[in-house]
Amino acid sequence: MLTKVIAMGDTAKYIRVCFSFVIAADGSPYDPHFLVIGSTQYGKSAGMRLLKYFDADKKYYEGLIKQMMAKMTFWKPGLYNGVPVDSRVEDFLQFWVGINPPIN
């Protein structure tokens, strides 16, 4: 991933690998899905620019997300009126590409 990002000139930026999964009512994670890869100038930025040159590698990243989820421990489930329910979670992994990341 890093080689491709540098080759495309997306340096001095944060790269985000976005994914989703479900936390079951018993707290077990399941149904992982890779969503997109994007970049942003600021680590705490709400928005990001999609990096479409990763679209061809979607199956590869889907497999990595599934491997990561298989190693995950139980979570606290979502509650609805005090009763545990299945809850979809969307999250991302973020890393800096460049020298000396800014301190936020």
Global pTM? Answer: 0.85
How far apart are alpha carbons 66 and 32 in whole angstroms? 6
List the pLDDT tens digit at each of the 104 positions of the chain: 888 998 898 887 899 999 999 999 999 999 999 999 999 988 888 899 999 999 999 999 999 999 999 999 999 999 999 999 999 999 999 998 887 666 66
Tokens of 85: 């329910």
How far apart are alpha carbons 70 and 26 in whole angstroms? 16
pLDDT of residue 79: 95
pLDDT of residue 13: 87
pLDDT of residue 42: 87
Tokens of 56: 């061809």
Is the sign of the CA dihedral 100, 68, 7, 49 positive or negative? negative
pLDDT of residue 12: 78
> Which helix H or strand E contains 64, and what residues bound it?
helix 58-70
How far apart are alpha carbons 68 and 102 in whole angstroms? 28
How far apart are alpha carbons 48 and 3 in whole angstroms? 20
Tokens of 12: 């001095």
